[in-house]
Structure formats: C-alpha cells, structure tokens
Structure 1
C-alpha cells in the first residue's frame, strides 16, 4: 500500500484556503463599492428607463 503524501495534501489544502480567502476579500470589496455607489446609480437608472 502506498504511503500518503502529507506535504502535498497540506499544500493543496493551504492553496484552497488562500483561494477562498482571496475570493471572499474580492466579494467584500465589490459589495462595499456597490454600497458606496449604489444609491446614486439606482436614482440615475430609474430616470433613464422610460415607462
């Protein structure tokens, strides 16, 4: 039976954690940006749409 490669498993786990953390950070930044600019864009977009 083959031995487990713990270093490889740990590296893969750490890379997955890092990727998830970066995605979460980007999502937070995007949400913050939308929150800051959101009300202004909503008002403008409602004026532009003909009814």
Structure 2
C-alpha cells in the first residue's frame, strides 16, 4: 500500500481555502456596487421604507441674526 501524500492534501486544502476567500471578496465587491435585484435590504436606512416613515427628516439649523 502506498503512503499517504500529505503535501498534496495540504495543497488541495489551501487551494480550496483561497478559492473560497476570492469568492467572498468578489461577492462583497458586487454588493458594494449596488443593491441586489432581490429587493430592499432590511435595516438599510437608505432603502428601508419603514425607517424612513419612522424617522422624520430633520430641518437644517440656519444661523440667525441674534446668534
């Protein structure tokens, strides 16, 4: 019986780990480019309609003549 080739197994694990990391980075970059076509992201203040209804817009404070 042949001896196990641990170097080959280790290399395969490293390649799988590298591939998974690259996929995660690519997915993250795609999410940054724009919202997904699946719909609104829950909890995102820019796209969450419920949070827009709950939080009224704040009027900017303008300086007055008295200070």
TM-score past 0.5 threshold: yes
Report how far residue 2 of structure 1 moved. 1.6
Secondary structure in 1 matching 2:11: helix
Is the radius of gyration larger for structure 1 or structure 2? Answer: 2
Aligned partner of 1:19 in structure 2 is 19
More helix by share: 1
* Deviation per residue, 1:3-40 (Å, 9 max, x gap): 110000000000000000000000000001114xxxxx
Q: How many residues align?
A: 35
Q: Which has the higher contact order (CA 8 A, sep 6+)?
A: 2
Give structure 1 regions of 4+ aligned residues with deviation exceeding 2 angstroms.
none
Cα separation, 1, equivalents of 2:8 and 2:30: 33
Structure 1 unaligned spans of 5+: 36-51
Q: CA RMSD in A?
A: 0.8
- In the superposition, the TM-score normalised over structure 2's length comes to 0.49
Unaligned runs of 5+ in 2: 36-67
